[in-house]
Amino acid sequence: MAYQVSIFLENKIGHLERVTAVLKAARINIRTMNLNHTASGWGILNLVVSNPMLAHHLLNENGLSSALREIVAIEMMDHPGGLDDLLQEIVKAGVNFTNAYGRSAYASENAYFVIDTEDVHDARQKLLQAGLKILSDETIYGIS
Amino acid sequence: MYWENELETLERKNLEKLQVTRLKKTIQLAVNSPYYRNLYGQMCLSADSIRSIADLRKLPLTTKQNLRDNFPYGFLGLPQKELIRLHSSSGTTGNPTVIFHNRHDIDSWANLMARSLFCAGVRDTDVFQNICGYGLFTGGLGFQYGIERLGCLSIPAGAGNSPRQIKLMQDYGTTVAHAIPSYLNRLFEVFQEEGLDPRKDTKLNTFVIGAEPHTEEQRQRIEEMFGVKAYNSFGLSEMNGPGVAFECTYQNGLHIWEDAFLIEIINPDTLEPVAEGEVGELVMTTLDREAMPLIRYRTRDLTRILPGKCACGRTHMRLDRITGRSDDMFIVKGCNIFPMQVEGVLMKIPEVGADYLITLDTINGSDEMIIEVEVKKDWFNGDITRLDKLARLISGQIRDEVLVKPIVKLVEPGSLPKSEGKAVRVKELRKALNL
């Protein structure tokens, strides 16, 4: 089971840096990120990192509001149409997601696509049945 | 040139005589109420203890808290059968402030209101649009009865819906309108959006503005924008509502109707009278109310009595503009709000922390109340829709409580001033208002 670290952030100068400083000090690597913002002056930062449990713990200890959310990372081809091909399969599998973001690896044909869904177990089942490749935690976190 | 020639120009000596007579009668009525009977009984006070206005100071002050503690009937001097209306503050947390009226009280209030409007130059030939919420709020019905008593054609337009307000003004040739000053900026914008100039495209000549403190500069701006004369109106629901004090056409202070209200200005800390002409808290005693007389009521409004006589010939004293409050109440869109009301709502919502910050600001010409609230750490799970729902829930519940819809901003835990000690809970950024 893979996790993203979600952090509640006010849209103010220096707030994102508070997060990255904590991770840097603990030598935690950020693999991919996604930042969304609402009109009301706050947003949520989602991070896939090398050690989500430790990151979550340290961020909370440093006064930030973080939460661990389970995600599914699906293998995707790093070439034109890669996302479209993948999405067609996800649609066929009947999986809806509320948030998504990706990562492409340097000098590789592979990339991955991270989705945040309401029922992650159900989503994983459906995606596996559709023959999609769900990446291992080690691959996602980059610690293989 | 006066609504009531004799009363409005009564010599000070005679006015004071009338006040003493009415004060004694008021105390006789007040001791019919459980609250004053009990209080004066313990202190062996009665109407006979009062021989002059100076004797008033023997009597204890009455506070809003006293009203709340004796909710709903503790201050009532008449059987319920005699009552014909009540007006009440908003809110669902704690006891509201409620004032009851009998037929005499409503009649006397309507007369004071008519006198006030006449004093500002309004006449029975005017078409009067009351842009003000009707219902429990006193500005709706209070004005309505006065407008009718004066004999104007009244348009009970209610609050909001600016395009409709403009249409009413044009359809019926409104000459006088009553509104809260902060709304008039918004109304003017809508005039502009519709490509209209109120100076040319309406028959407006007078505005009555009140329920919100405002500066002389703001008045002048309103007068320029609309091409009208704008008169300041002062009132508070505990003293009926509007019609307590009003500007005459000389626009130099608000004549307070001393045949109906006895006023004192005290130092809010020592509770002693301030020196003549100094700013202090306005304390008021009703002199012509039967159902619910109030004696030495602390209004919490800070003002001063202006020296000298008014050129209009009225002998009733003039109050300066309200310059602030001796408590933490603030006013948004004409609604009186206490930080405790906001706090009460927030404390009932388990997802948020106890700390909050209210910022009052003018956004796009409209007064807004922005409430920053901390989200509890252990409730946060990274779901953005859940946070959005929470913000909407808070906004809705605060609106139900204080009648003004706030802009709710969720902030990181620990980013607001702590609730211990005297944390600043309200930040005033509105430029036009001095609170």
Residue A1 gets which letter from DSSP?
-
Write the residue in A38, A41, A63 that is nearest to B414 by C-beta. A63
Q: Has residue B435 got a pLDDT over 50?
A: no
Q: Has residue A80 got a pLDDT over 60?
A: yes
Positive/negative CA dihedral, B68, B69, B70, B71: positive
The per-residue b/e assignment along B121-141, b for 16 or more CB within 10 angstroms, e otherwise, is ebeeebbbbbbbbbebbbbbb
Mean pLDDT calculated for residue range B361-374? 88
The predicted model scores a pTM of: 0.78
pLDDT, one tens digit per residue, over B79-91 is 999 999 999 987 6
**B375: closest chain A residue by CA:** A65
B382, A44: Cβ pair inside 8 Å? yes
Mutate to test the interface with B, among A15, A42, A114 (most CBs of B within 10 A): A42
A63, B391: Cβ pair inside 8 Å? no
The more confident residue out of B21 and B422 is: B21
Q: What is the DSSP string of B96-144?
A: PPEEEEEHHHHHHHHHHHHHHHHHTT--TT-EEEE-S--SSSHHHHHHH
Closest CA–CA distance from residue B297 to any residue of chain A (Å): 42
The predicted structure's pLDDT at residue B37: 96
The more confident residue out of B193 and B334 is: B193
Write the residue in B380, B388, B411 that is nearest to A67 by C-beta. B380
pLDDT band at B326, cuts 50/70/90? confident
pLDDT band at B420, cuts 50/70/90? low
Please state the separation of Cα A62 from the chain's center in Å: 22
With an 8 Å Cβ cutoff, the interface of chain B facing chain A consists of 375, 377, 380-385, 387-388, 391, 407-415
Which of chain B's residues have a Cβ under 8 Å away from the Cβ of A42? Answer: 387, 409-411
H/E segment holding residue A120 = helix A120-129
Closest CA–CA distance from residue A80 to any residue of chain B (Å): 31
In chain A, the N- to C-terminal Cα span, in Å, equals 15
Q: Has residue B418 got a pLDDT over 80?
A: no
CB–CB contacts below 8 A, A to B: 58
Mean pLDDT calculated for residue range B96-124? 97
The predicted structure's pLDDT at residue B161: 93
Residue B85 gets which letter from DSSP?
E
In this prediction, the answer to ipTM > 0.90 reads no
Which of chain A's residues have a Cβ under 8 Å away from the Cβ of B385? Answer: 98
Please state the separation of Cα B261 from the chain's center in Å: 16
Which of chain A's residues have a Cβ under 8 Å away from the Cβ of B387? Answer: 8, 38, 42, 44
Sole residue written with tokens 């006397």: B108
pLDDT band at B428, cuts 50/70/90? confident
Q: Has residue B421 got a pLDDT over 60?
A: no
Q: Has residue B335 got a pLDDT over 50?
A: yes
Closest CA–CA distance from residue A64 to any residue of chain B (Å): 7
Mean pLDDT calculated for residue range B29-52? 93
Q: Has residue A137 got a pLDDT over 70?
A: yes
Least confident of B10-14, B164-168, B317-321, B412-416: B412-416
State the Cα–Cα distance between residues B135 and B48, nearest whole angstrom. 39
Mean pLDDT calculated for residue range B3-7? 96
Q: What are chain A's domains?
A: 2-69 (3.30.2130.10), 70-141 (3.30.70.260)
Which of B134, B126, B123 lies closest to B156 in space, CA to CA? B134
Closest CA–CA distance from residue B408 to any residue of chain A (Å): 8
Q: What are chain B's domains?
A: 5-327 (3.40.50.12780), 335-428 (3.30.300.30)
pLDDT, one tens digit per residue, over A4-35 is 999 998 888 888 999 999 999 999 999 999 99
B382, A6: Cβ pair inside 8 Å? yes
Which of chain A's residues have a Cβ under 8 Å away from the Cβ of B408? Answer: 40
Mean pLDDT calculated for residue range A93-109? 83
Closest CA–CA distance from residue B359 to any residue of chain A (Å): 14
The predicted structure's pLDDT at residue B433: 46
State the Cα–Cα distance between residues B352 and B377, nearest whole angstrom. 9
Strand order in the sheet with B426-428: B407-411, B366-375, B352-363, B426-428
The predicted structure's pLDDT at residue B26: 96
Which of chain B's residues have a Cβ under 8 Å away from the Cβ of A4? Answer: 382
pLDDT, one tens digit per residue, over B220-257 is 989 999 999 999 999 999 999 999 999 999 999 999 99
pLDDT, one tens digit per residue, over B259-276 is 999 999 999 999 999 999
Which of chain B's residues have a Cβ under 8 Å away from the Cβ of A45? Answer: none
With an 8 Å Cβ cutoff, the interface of chain A facing chain B consists of 4, 6-10, 15, 36, 38, 40-44, 46, 60, 63-69, 98-99
pLDDT band at B382, cuts 50/70/90? confident
3-state SS, B227-278, equals CCEEEEEEEEHHHCEEEEEEECCCCCCEEECCCCEEEEEECCCCCCECCCCC
B410, A40: Cβ pair inside 8 Å? yes
B382, A98: Cβ pair inside 8 Å? no
